[in-house]
Structure 1
Amino acid sequence: MKIIAEIDIPPETHAAIQLLRNAAFQDHQVNRSYFKQLPHSRMLTYSGEQLIGHMGLDYRVIRVGDAVLKILGVIDFCVSEHARGQGIGSSMLATLSAYAKTRDVDFLMLMSEHTHFYCRHGFQQVTAHHSWLRLHEHQNYGIGFEPLNELLIQPVSGLEWPSGHIDWLGYMF
């Protein structure tokens, strides 16, 4: 497993990420290695030379109520179908948690319908009103504002998650 800055990823790795991502997200196929926006870095897991695990990492601030929080967001987390059930995803989440604890991060954050899996790994489901920049195919089309219940967070710095409206201060991953 390695974490690499987005700017340092070679074209052949982007091609492998695109194949893995598109296989995992059948309803969201794209001709690139990311869905909405380039992440800041990526965690990649290999079996020999074969890419079997990927997660994009987006480091930024968001606003929740009156609090400004530093989050490390997880984007397009996927494990190849033939490697699922072998603890790869769990290992990647444990590595991410350990990585975040040595950095200036308040919370890990992701959006997913698979709440049971993430809650087993220390994430908590948060329901709140959200606002974010709506992006589609490299164009923005306004601000979204609605309640969502697919947000999962994991405390890293010891802060408690505040209550209130969640302003993504940008796009939603």
Structure 2
Amino acid sequence: MNLNGLPVNVLGVIDLCVKKEYRSNGLGSLLLSEIEKFSEDRSIDFLLLFADDKGLYLKNGYRSVINKCTWLKIDNENHKSLGLGMEVMNELMMKEIGNVTWENGCLDLLGYLY
């Protein structure tokens, strides 16, 4: 991805789910911990995700960030690109993994919105 004109290496977390009857047992935190372990010794600057319910992620060291995002809009039903989307996403969260510091500003996902 591109953060304010500089390339950054991001590992995206998509659809982290725990079955309802197994929630509140630490499984979500365990999954996030495993993602962090996986990221060690790789060239990853940030873990990035979109969350409606931020509680689990805040508890595990993620923070909400405010960036104007740019991404490729895709019509999955008709299998075609629709152009670029651009907006500030209130659901955007990240955790710094490498030595790069996250900055507010413009985040270009260089692809689709996951």
Comparing both structures, which one devotes a greater share of its residues to strand? 1
Q: Tell whether the 8 Å contact from 1:67 to 1:162 is kept in structure 2 after alignment.
A: no
Question: How far apart are 1:156 and its partner, in Å?
Answer: 0.5
Q: Tell whether the 8 Å contact from 2:9 to 2:45 is kept in structure 1 after alignment.
A: yes
Task: Give the TM-score of the pair, scaled to structure 1.
Answer: 0.61
Distance 1:66 1:162 in 2: 11
Letter in 2 for 1:143: L
Match of 2:112 in 1: 171
Task: Give the TM-score of the pair, scaled to structure 2.
Answer: 0.91
After the TM superposition, which parts of structure 1 deviate over 2 Å for at least 4 consecutive aligned residues?
Answer: none
Higher RCO by CA contacts (8 Å cutoff, separation 6 or greater)? 2
- In structure 2, runs of 5+ residues without a counterpart are none
Letter in 1 for 2:99: G
Match of 1:154 in 2: 95
Match of 1:74 in 2: 13
Question: How far apart are 1:140 and its partner, in Å?
Answer: 2.2
Q: Tell whether the 8 Å contact from 1:107 to 1:156 is kept in structure 2 after alignment.
A: yes
Q: SS at 1:109's partner residue?
A: strand
Identity %: 31
Letter in 1 for 2:66: T
Comparing both structures, which one devotes a greater share of its residues to helix? 1
The count of aligned residue pairs is 112
Report the RMSD for the aligned CA atoms in angstroms: 1.2
